[in-house]
Chains A and B, each alone.
Chain A
Amino acid sequence: EVQLVESGGGLVQPGGSLRLSCAASGFTFSDHAMNWVRQAPGKGLQWVSSLSGTADTTYYADSVKGRFTISRDNSKNTLHLQMNSLRAEDTAIYYCAKDLFYGGNSVVLDHWGQGTLVTVSS
């Protein structure tokens, strides 16, 4: 059974940093691209970032480019999102999500974690 478990969320001041993690199990982690998607309170879904299985291809939404860094450790089946220079508008539940297909970034998100809440406020 595929499981994705996010951690690392919390309350941070504007301008601060957080590092989110997503522990994966139940599939061959290095075979699949992984993604972060966020959802502001009471709002819709916004794709944030994607990383290929071999970690050689990354994509970022314009709203986070230059501030967020996606990475993975295939030896530990873990995905990370380093978030710097956080803003109030980054407040959201952050979900990690697995790509359905092998290989490249298909962005068909077939399994999701339960999410971790990031609150940016003074």
Chain B
Amino acid sequence: EIVLTQSPATLSLSPGERATLSCRASQSVSRYLAWYQQKPGQAPRLLIFDASNRATGIPARFSGSGSGTDFTLTISSLEPEDFAIYYCQQRSNWPWTFGQGTKVEIK
């Protein structure tokens, strides 16, 4: 099973700041990595798929990069609605797995 390790566990930032979230895979997942955002009491929302493709309706301030084992989600300038938990997920190898999440909180 591919283990996805996200860091940091919590990121404390202010609105307007840049957020950089990391996801590291225990073995290569090529570019088959997605990012999801989840707010309290809500279902997850797809942000990025296949490492760098923004899903429909996702603002341009969200971008993804990486390949192989190291991936990054960048939020260029945090909006108030961006404070949430972010999960990465791989679809390279069964079983499909999620990272443990990074919480982006208001500083």
Q: Which residues of A contact B (CB under 8 A)?
A: 37, 44-47, 50, 59, 61-62, 95, 100, 106-115
Contact = CB atoms under 8 A, between A and B. Distances in A.
B55 interface: yes
A107 B91 CA distance: 6
Interface in B41-92: 42-46, 49-50, 55-56, 87, 89, 91
Contact of B98 (A45, A100, A115): A45
A59 B99 contact: no
A44 B87 CA distance: 8
Which among A62, A111, A112 has the greatest number of chain B C-beta atoms within 10 A? A112
A45 B44 contact: yes
Given A95-B43, A106-B91, A47 B49 contact: no
B24 to A, nearest CB: 16
9 contacts: A45-B98, A47-B95, A47-B98, A95-B43, A109-B46, A110-B46, A112-B44, A113-B43, A114-B43
Contact of B96 (A100, A107, A113, A114): A107
Nearest to A106: B91
A109 B43 CA distance: 11
Contact of A45 (B56, B89, B94): B89
Contacts of A109: 34, 36, 44, 46, 89
Contacts of B91: 106-108
Contact of B43 (A46, A50, A107, A115): A115
Contacts of B100: 44
Contacts of B34: 108-109
A61 B95 CA distance: 6
A50 to B, nearest CB: 8
Nearest to A114: B43
A2 to B, nearest CB: 10
B45 to A, nearest CB: 7
Contacts of B97: 47
A47 B43 CA distance: 14
B46 A108 contact: yes
Contact of B49 (A61, A95, A100, A112): A100
